[in-house]
Each structure stands twice: as structure tokens, then as C-alpha cells.
Amino acid sequence: MYEDKYTITDTKQDILSHQQRRDRIHVLTVDPSLGEDVCERIRADKRLKRCTLICPRATTVRGGVDEIERTAQETVSSRLILFDVRRLTMPKLRQIFNAIVGYNRRDFNKSCFSICIGDGPLALFQNGQFANPFVPHLSAHRVDFHPAVFFFDPFLHYEPDETPLQSMDDEFLIPHTIPRRLAPYFKSDDMTVPLIRQYFRAVDKDDHTRKTRRNLLRHVYKKRLAETLPGRESEYEDLLTRGGIHWASEKMNLYPLYFEDWVYDLMRQARRNADLKPPAAAT
């Protein structure tokens, strides 16, 4: 007679989902300038004072890659994960990012959200186009990272001939020179992207100054878009708003416009979704 020696009990628990997420934000970038800008903006926002930030402390690309790899599994405790997806560093980070996405995939857009910050497609603005190059670019990131929103950072986008060639043996460096198309707006000889970021985030200034500088950056972006795409304001006007631009299921904003608002809204939504989850069944 057959004897049932094993009893399998369904606990209704999803082992691919991580229930113990906290108000933590992982900032996954090997660019100290961008990492500092993201973290300082979040720390300066009173709505986000409860949040804990985890960001690489390494000052070199190689050290940052190693640090992200060592802490990859810790991302399952965060409600928000920010991926720096610029073309320059993605070859060094893609395998680690794939692993991190795998750890969190089940929870994305539920109890955990992701934001991508990137430099856009290589052919951006060529032949007077904007939407056509971006749509497949955003769709590819949708598949890879499931982002709630993609932030395009104009200060990360360099034309192909602006990026210096580096050999495999060189210490990999991230350029801090101002992209050529934005250089006319910042004419000081010693001006760099880190200094520009510091100026516009103005975390050590009063509210009025921060608002004035935010509006100034918005004006620079708007003027540059108008020069690049004359008479086609309707194609990008939503990009300058809090809601951002929508192409089908893809959403895109300009970094850092309304960045803190998006972080706050996504953290609040992740917390709310976690509270709505039914408790695990007792064994």
C-alpha cells in the first residue's frame, strides 16, 4: 500500500517577492557627480527626510562597479532603485544591473519602483528629430528595467566625437566637460558639469534662490529645444512639465526638473502598495 511520507503545504508565500522593504533608495551610478546630485537633492527635500540613501562611495569607476556588485542583493530591501543607464558606463554595469533587476523583478511597479537616468539615444537631435529616436530607446529600457519614469539628463549626452577614446588598460574616466551644444550657455572657462549641478541644486540656499535657479535651468532647456526643433514646440512642451512627455506607455522627464517630486510620489506609492498586500498565510 502506498504510504504518503511527504506532505506539501502551500503557505501562499511568494518567495520571489520581498515583503520587508523599507524607506530606502538605492542610487546605482559610478559617476560621483551624478550620485552626489541625486543624493543631495533627496536629502534637501523635507518630504523625504525619513529615507535612507545607499550610493557608492568610491571615487573611481572601477571602485564604483565593485561596490555596486558587492551590494547588489541589498536592493531587495529598498522601495526605490535608481539606475544610471548612460551609454558610456552600461557595458561595465549591464551584467550587475541584470542581476539586480532579477532580484526585484516581481516587485517592480508594486512595492518597489525604478527610475532610469540616462543620456538618450546616440542619434538624438540628428536630422531635426526628437520623438523617433527616443521611442525605441525608451522601449528597450522598459524591457530591461521596468522604469516608472525615464529621466533624460542633457548634461550626460555627448555627441560621438565628444567622447575621448580610452584603451582597455586606462583608468576609465567619466567626462566632466560641458556637452558642446550646451557650452554657449555656460561661458566661464573653468565651468564643469559637477559645478553646474552644484549651482542648480543650490541645497545650501534659501527656497527663493532654489526656485529661481530651477526656473533658470528650465529656461535653458526650453531655449535649447526651441533652437534645435524650431516651430515644433508641441512635440516637447510637456517635457518641461511635472507630468513629463508620454509616448504610448513610455514616460520621460528632464533631469532634474521635478525629480524630487517623482521620488516622493513613487516612495509614497510603494509604501501604500505594501500596506495593501494581504498578510502571508500561517503555516
CATH number of the domain within which 61 lies = 3.40.50.2300
Residue 4 lies in a domain: no
C-alpha cell recorded at residue 159: 555627441
Please tell me the predicted confidence (pLDDT) of residue 172: 77
Please tell me the predicted confidence (pLDDT) of residue 167: 52
* Count: domains in the chain: 1
Please say whether the beta carbons of 19 and 277 come within 8 A: yes
Please tell me the predicted confidence (pLDDT) of residue 127: 65
Residue 7 lies in a domain: no
Q: How many CA atoms lie within 13 A of 32 on its CB side?
A: 11
Residues 6+ apart with CB under 8 A from 281: 10, 11, 12, 13
- Residue at grid coordinates 551644444: 181
- Examine residue 164 and say whether the peptide bond preceding it is cis (omega within 30 degrees of 0): no
Low-confidence spans in the chain with pLDDT less than 70: 1-16, 127-129, 164-171, 277-283
Please tell me the predicted confidence (pLDDT) of residue 170: 53
d(CA 192, CA 167): 24
Nearest to 229 by CA among 128, 152, 127, 153: 128
Residue 280 lies in a domain: no
Residue 14 lies in a domain: no
78 phi, psi to nearest 5 deg:
-100, 150
Structural domain harbouring 120: 22-164+174-275
Amino acid symbol at 136: P
Residue 89 lies in a domain: yes
Residue 5 lies in a domain: no
Please tell me the predicted confidence (pLDDT) of residue 71: 92
Please tell me the predicted confidence (pLDDT) of residue 11: 46
Please tell me the predicted confidence (pLDDT) of residue 128: 65
Helix (H), strand (E) at residue 267: helix 259-276
Please tell me the predicted confidence (pLDDT) of residue 216: 95
Displacement of CA 214 from its chain's centroid (Å)? 19
What is the model's pTM?
0.88
Residue 9 lies in a domain: no
Please tell me the predicted confidence (pLDDT) of residue 248: 76
Please tell me the predicted confidence (pLDDT) of residue 280: 47
Nearest to 195 by CA among 158, 160, 142, 155: 155
Please tell me the predicted confidence (pLDDT) of residue 164: 63
Residue 53 lies in a domain: yes
